Amino acid sequence: MKAGFIGTGSMGSILIEALIHSGALNPEQICAANRTPGKVKRLAETYAGLVAASDNPEVAGGSDVLFLCVKPFDYKRVIDEIRPVLKPSQILVSITSSVLLRHLESQLPCKVTKVIPSITNYVLTGSSLCIHGERMHPEDKEWIENLLTHISTPVRVSEAHTRISSDLSSCGPAFLAFFLQKYVDAAVQETGISREEANILAAEMTLGTGKLLTTGGFDPVTLQKRVCVPGGITAEGLRLMDHDLDGMFNRLIQITHAKYEEDLEKVESVFATKR
């Protein structure tokens, strides 16, 4: 099996490295291209056997599964380049939420699916969102999801819920890291604890909390109840956050969805242009 990657920026390179480190793919099975040749050449130097292609059609033509890891507004240009070499038996995997399945299926002869990865996949954990196109057969869906199990927990979602699912699984690590950064900043400012020590404590707490919420059998509500003693210190902290953060997460979702709708409108405009 040959896997192709067009785009080796942040998420493209994370997918490649995670799939190699997990043993899901050998470097010899991967061919990749990038608009900046130096990026894919560095990957080829790091992972002996990985092929740095000279252009996008070279990658597309020789791949059984092709991961398209470019920015939303670059999709149409790349699709126009690779369309002539694609075959119905191939699977194209899009990793961008604002490029819809119908955009791709209307212009490509191959099978199409969407996989929204997360930076957590770099350490072979977290989820990957799967939204399969109409041409994907049951065995195709199973094959893609089996590949993803090496680096994540594949979760099938509807395309209508792609944005909110991505907010939780893909944007969530950045949002959570921002919370931890502010928490650590305050701890250092208010108490004088060293930043290094506070970072270690916060990171280990996050790891342990994640395990409690997955394999530990807790959900967010039951975990709070287990930690919180009525009238205690944790209860006072939760009371403050409940008051000061009231409505903030609603506004967070509203603003991510507004940006998504803006991007979707621009993508619609790009795909509306004639070939």
> Binding site for NADP(+), residues?
6-11
List the binding residues.
6-11, 56
C-alpha pair distances (Å), 222 with each of 124, 217, 271, 273 = 27, 9, 47, 52
What does residue 92 show for φ and ψ, rounded to 5 degrees? -100, 130
**Closest by CA position to 104, among listed 125, 123, 86, 128:** 86
Close Cβ partners of 221 (under 8 Å, ≥ 6 residues apart): none
Give Rg (Cα) of the chain.
21
Helices (H), the chain: 10-21, 37-46, 56-61, 75-82, 101-105, 138-148, 162-166, 172-191, 195-213, 220-227, 233-244, 248-272
List the binding residues for NADPH.
56
Q: Are 10 and 173 in contact (CB under 8 A)?
A: no
